[in-house]
Structure 1
Amino acid sequence: MVVDIHNHTKLCNHAEGEIAEYIEKAIECGIKYFGFSEHAPMNFDEKYRISFAQMQEYEKSVLDAKEKYKDKIEILLGYEVDYLRGYMDERVLNADVDYLIGSIHFIEEWGFDNPEFIGNYKDQNIDEIWQKYFNAIEEMAKSRLFDIVGHLDLIKIFKYMPTKNIKEIAKNALLAIKEAGMSVEINVAGFRKPIGEAYPSMSLLNEIKKLNIPITFASDAHKPEQVGLYSDEAIEMAKSAGYSECVFYRNRKKHFIKF
């Protein structure tokens, strides 16, 4: 991958390794544009994200690394923000960063991708869960607050698949993403999860290409050794869908690059 802009640091409390270790691994993998997008603070689920008090530390650490490694790789600064009504904060939404990733990790405050709460699937209609998830994606896109859609079909993480056509479930969300001018990441973290495939699926990626929605790439690394894993698979997916370029962001502006 030439671009890899969704990665974490140990500040989020569920990742490990030093910022320099992630960057050294990225350089080793031939990545040219490498971004950190830490789980942004909010007054909910604080266990799995940085605090508001840590924002300055996080941003300074990444910017210091940007300067240190400027002759070897371009380091980008972002946040991964949970789109959850009532909890998003202007301090994050107005942060001086290169990009914001909008992600859905909660359906009505249920952390559906957290193994701690996997039992909740048993008590709900799986088609309704999937539709609620993509309704939230649609709402997030319409908010016009974010640049990138994080792990588009994360709801598949534990292989609880709907009976309805996924393309139909996701249709309105994809149209909203297109209208908002957002990009969608090919996020390889799914290869490390029970679903065993990237986010989004190849089927959805083909629909994304039909709408000419830009893509970017993401290791979603929580350990240095995860940087660049499955990059060949991600590039092959993109090429199979008909893509030859991806985007990265500086100061909330898109830049296209061939891969």
Structure 2
Amino acid sequence: MTIDGHVHTQYCPHGSDHKMEAYVKVAIDKGIKALTFTEHAPLPIEDTVPTKDSAMAENTVYEYLKEAKGLQAKYGHKIQINAGFEIDYIEGKEQETQLFLEQYPEAIPHSILSVHFLRLSDGSYYCIDYSKESFIEKAKEVGFDTLYKLYEKTVRKALSNPYGELTPKKIGHINLIHKFSKAYEYTDTINWKKLLMLAEKNQYKLDYNFAGMDKAYYGKTYPDDVILKVAKQLELVLETGSDAHRPEEVGRYFMEGES
């Protein structure tokens, strides 16, 4: 079954204003059989990016889930529609995140667990994918090696069932740390095979995310071909996702006719 398992909505502050129904209509037109909305869950920390737009507001969660249910009722004869969250694994905030997950257990099977924020040695949090300039500035400040090792450690924790039975069992864009990799010179020292073996051990799926192909300083899928080869050797389950933030991005690159 053709799935787009990573789709955002108008409830995302850094997305578009197009309604969820517009994403559904594009998915149907492209022949997608299952669409999963995975809006960025409210953060358990103060948003550290300058625009303060990383995640949905707490007071929009109910409307988001309600709208998804309405679309399933309306279009369920044509496409399966699910609603989950893209949950940020944030080191040190596991209890707060677990309390959020406890409120929406029905969304957990359709949710993604991603790493966007790293906890630095001074206790502050840093968002790794905000901008090329921000990433390089931070890497020069603390060291590229420090950022990469910290990312590896954080992903390892995310893959270790941090919320017990409430843990979403799909890891989002596992090598997001590479988003700006064409803009600097550094030899990646992350042991990707070890991370993937942990994912396999704990029965996580991989978000096979095509958004990276549109990133100017990356231009590949997450995971890239090298990591993907190892994932396939380990027989990890892959779930295609567009990471769409606009309707026209639904199914991008993995559907027939996409260039």
Q: Same fold (TM over 0.5)?
A: yes
Report the Cα distance in structure 2 between the residues aligned to 1:161 and 1:65, rounded to whole angstroms: 46
The question of 1:155 aligning with 2:156 is answered no
* Structure 2 counterpart of 1:71, one-letter code: H
* Structure 1 counterpart of 2:15, one-letter code: A
Deviations 1:7-27 (A, max 9, x none): 101112111111011000001
* Structure 1 counterpart of 2:71, one-letter code: A
Deviations 1:117-139 (A, max 9, x none): 23212223323322221221111
Match of 2:12 in 1: 12
Map 1:82-101 → 2, pairs under 5 A: 82-87=88-93, 88-94=96-102, 95=104, 96-97=106-107, 98-101=109-112
How far 1:164 moved relative to its partner? 4.3
Match of 2:83 in 1: 77
Map 1:1-259 → 2, pairs under 5 A: 2-16=2-16, 17-44=18-45, 45=47, 47-87=53-93, 88-94=96-102, 95=104, 96-97=106-107, 98-108=109-119, 109-115=125-131, 117-118=134-135, 119-142=137-160, 143=162, 144=164, 145-159=167-181, 160=184, 162-166=186-190, 169-193=191-215, 194-232=217-255
Report the Cα distance in structure 1 between the residues aligned to 2:97 and 2:145, rounded to whole angstroms: 31
TM-score by length of 1: 0.83
Runs of 4+ in 1 over 6 A off after TM superposition: none
Contact 1:4–1:217, Cα closer than 8 Å, also in 2: yes
Unpaired segments ≥5 residues, structure 2: 120-124
Report the Cα distance in structure 2 between the residues aligned to 1:164 and 1:70, rounded to whole angstroms: 44
Report the Cα distance in structure 2 between the residues aligned to 1:134 and 1:208, rounded to whole angstroms: 16
Unpaired segments ≥5 residues, structure 1: 236-259
TM-score by length of 2: 0.83
Deviations 1:208-244 (A, max 9, x none): 11111111010000000111111159x9xxxxxxxxx
* Structure 2 counterpart of 1:158, one-letter code: F
CA RMSD of aligned residues (A): 2.0
Report the Cα distance in structure 1 between the residues aligned to 2:145 and 2:98, rounded to whole angstroms: 33
Deviations 1:158-195 (A, max 9, x none): 114641455xx223321211111010011011011120
Report the Cα distance in structure 2 between the residues aligned to 1:43 and 1:129, rounded to whole angstroms: 21
How far 1:86 moved relative to its partner? 3.4
